[in-house]
Amino acid sequence: MGSYEDFYRHSLDQPDAFWAEQARLIDWERPFDQVLDASRPPFARWFVGGRTNLCHNAVDRHLATRANQPAIVFESTEADQRRQYTYAQLHAEVNRVAAMLRELGVGRGDRVIVYMPMVPEALFTLLACTRLGAIHSVVFGGFAAHSLALRIDDARPVLLVTADAGMRAGRVIAYKPLVDEALTLAQHPPAQVLVFNRGLVPGTSLTPGRDVDFATLGAKHEGARVPVEWLESSEPSYILYTSGTTGKPKGVQRDTGGYAVALAASMRHIYTGQPGETMFTASDIGWVVGHSYIVYGPLLNGMTTVLYEGLPTRPDASIWWRLVEEHRVSVMFTSPTAIRVLKKQDASFLKRHDTSRLRHLFLAGEPLDAPTHAWISDALPATQVLDNYWQTETGWPILGPVPGVQARPRKLGSPGVALYGYRVKLLDGLSGAEVTAPNQKGVLVIEPPLPPGCLSTVWGDDERFVSTYFSSFETPVYNTFDWATRDEDGDYFILGRTDDVINVAGHRLGTREIEEAISGHPAIAEVAVVGVKDDLKGQVVMAFAVPRDPTRLQREEGRADLEREVMDTVGRTLGAVARPARVHLVAHLPKTRSGKLLRRSIQAVAEAREPGDLSTIEDPSSLEGIQAAMKARGPRE
């Protein structure tokens, strides 16, 4: 095992040689003529002229050696279902769905909206799209009709694939009525809708002439064989929408060859999954983590991937660890929020199952606070818990550990070092000058060209790609819009979004720093900090904290004591200027279904404004709890 510093320098100093070597991890129907074309910055084209296919690399190429190995293990604690598919069975199912899509008019370059729950048919559909050279765009199942309509109009799909319903926390969420409404709102609705009926909503109706039943069409194509459509490396594989600062969502466009190479390399160098092993990524296919590390990454690497429909606490808080034991999981991936949810449960749930085979637990999606990192590390003594940092736009990590290259000491609160291929810098937020001194705060940026696997543009809008990501500083660099520091060892610490800065009487405070201080209090399970308008100071710090002991919410005396203790903790840790004007104890914090805190919605409620689009919120009643706390306790101590 060599030095990571040498490995990293090689990726930056000799990118052609470095990435040509990584490109050997996948199959090419035609070799590429050029590793990188960066002649039109900030755009980059990787493996120019090479022809490949994501579905071939994820499925077909494994048939010679892994036909009978499980490829997908499906577990639903919502619908009480279990299914398993070997690589041979997966190949058959993907071919069948590809034949179905082909009959419905889907071909190379066409867009297909996938609005599906976490069921194997969703994965079959994604792989069938890439087999045909079509461009899939997954919209998180249960998104509001208006949000779905916006994405339909931007992508202009020829087909929408959906299900009668999904399930969440024991509740059936009917998808078909949302689809029907979205298609009436959309200016460019697809001509046809393919509906997978799970039997969750009896009487789900199909619109004649438009809707097609999945099972009926599938029976017609049993045993079908559909040839792979070989794509030039830069041709799009998928669009994944992410919220924009305007009302129009941004369609992150991913290429084909660069993405396949980046994921295959990440499985080897970062996640260290071995072919034949099992990876369990507890996320959703509606998010980038689901695309990269439920679907494509593990399958490209010849692994078994666990597809889980359910919560980490149902039927009880040991469910994940049961899956780890039963399926001999060696690599797991989830979010810090999910771990904080488990942290509120009885610690005995972590001891009920044998997790000794779990080599690595990776966490990403938001900053991982040191107390949560320490807690889960202690709870899983045989497992190395590793943070990593990336974005929908990059498709794979920017910062992280590299156990497949060189083991490095783990630092609580840090996702790790800059990863190979990324020219990461910190810039002063005002002057744009590079921040080189250790432990000084700057905006995290990446010098172009972006490495393989990152977004190639914004779908249909090259100008928005440049103006959104490369126009913040005089020198064009990709802006992550995150504050960070870097220590003397090169390890980075993410401090929060550049727009999550609280300005109290001229003092600029990062919400992450205050949340870290509050999370250190042993009685607090999780917390969100926002800045709230104040006539005197411009803004004041407001904290909303969930106590580990829910009974503290019912006892007025204990509640007030804990609120004061938390405020004092911040004062001692960060100084009086960072001390919250008020700490509100609440039962739940509002989050998206992927587990991200909705800080902007919390801030809006705290300032008596409308909270905005709540189509992604997991539990709307959590905002009511924020409102009630504000009303009962007031804005200040």
Q: Residue 274's pLDDT is what? A: 97
* Structural domains present in the chain: 272-365 (3.40.50.980), 500-633 (3.30.300.30)
Is the predicted pLDDT of residue 5 greater than 90, yes or no?
yes
Q: Residue 323's pLDDT is what? A: 98
Integer Cα distance of 496 and 60 in angstroms: 42
Is the predicted pLDDT of residue 572 greater than 70, yes or no?
yes
* CB-based burial label for 465 (10 Å; 0-12, 13-18, 19+): buried
Cβ contacts of 310 within 8 Å, gap of 6 or more: 75, 76, 77, 78, 319
Residues, the chain: 637
Buried b (16+ CB within 10 A) or exposed e, 250-283: bbbbbbbbbbbbbbbbbbbbbbbbeeebbbbbbb
Q: Residue 615's pLDDT is what? A: 65
E strands in 338-383? 360-363
Is the predicted pLDDT of residue 496 greater than 60, yes or no?
yes
H helix or E strand, kind and range, residue 197: none
**Closest residue by Cα to residue 325 from 349, 297, 346, 294:** 349
**pLDDT digit string, tens, across residues 70-80:** 999 999 999 99
CA 574 to chain centre: 31
**pLDDT digit string, tens, across residues 19-69:** 999 999 999 999 999 999 999 999 999 999 999 999 999 999 999 999 999
Q: Residue 637's pLDDT is what? A: 58
**pLDDT digit string, tens, across residues 277-323:** 999 999 999 999 999 999 999 999 999 999 999 999 999 999 999 99
**pLDDT digit string, tens, across residues 412-463:** 999 999 999 999 999 998 899 999 999 999 999 999 999 999 999 999 999 9
Integer Cα distance of 445 and 133 in angstroms: 33
pLDDT above 70: percentage of residues in the chain? 96
E strands in 516-617? 524-534, 538-547, 582-585
Mean pLDDT value across residues 380-408: 95
Integer Cα distance of 482 and 427 in angstroms: 11
Integer Cα distance of 23 and 31 in angstroms: 10
**Closest residue by Cα to residue 104 from 157, 164, 175, 177:** 157
Q: What pTM was estimated for this model as a whole?
A: 0.86
Q: How many CA atoms lie within 13 A of 283 on its CB side?
A: 24
CA 146 to chain centre: 22
**Closest residue by Cα to residue 233 from 38, 396, 36:** 36
Q: Residue 141's pLDDT is what? A: 85
Q: Residue 520's pLDDT is what? A: 86
Strand partners, 70: 86
**pLDDT digit string, tens, across residues 148-173:** 999 999 999 999 999 999 998 899 99
Integer Cα distance of 520 and 525 in angstroms: 9
Mean pLDDT value across residues 202-210: 93
Integer Cα distance of 111 and 52 in angstroms: 19
Per the prediction, the chain carries an average pLDDT of 92
**pLDDT digit string, tens, across residues 577-592:** 788 999 999 998 988 7
Buried b (16+ CB within 10 A) or exposed e, 406-427: beeebbebbbbbbbbbbbbbbb
Cβ contacts of 257 within 8 Å, gap of 6 or more: 23, 26, 28, 32, 46, 47, 50, 52, 231, 232, 233, 234, 452
Q: What is the layout of strands, in order, in the sheet containing 492-497?
A: 423-427, 442-447, 478-486, 492-497
Is the predicted pLDDT of residue 617 greater than 90, yes or no?
no
Q: Residue 506's pLDDT is what? A: 56
**pLDDT digit string, tens, across residues 331-380:** 999 998 889 889 888 888 988 999 999 999 999 987 788 888 999 999 99
Asked if 319 and 312 count as a contact pair (C-beta separation under 8 A), the reply is: yes
Integer Cα distance of 391 and 419 in angstroms: 14
Integer Cα distance of 194 and 283 in angstroms: 24
Q: Give the alpha-carbon dihedral of 118, 121, 127, 133, to 10 degrees.
A: -120
Integer Cα distance of 569 and 323 in angstroms: 38
Q: Residue 230's pLDDT is what? A: 98
Mean pLDDT value across residues 98-103: 98
DSSP SS3 for 582? strand
**pLDDT digit string, tens, across residues 78-93:** 999 999 999 999 999 9
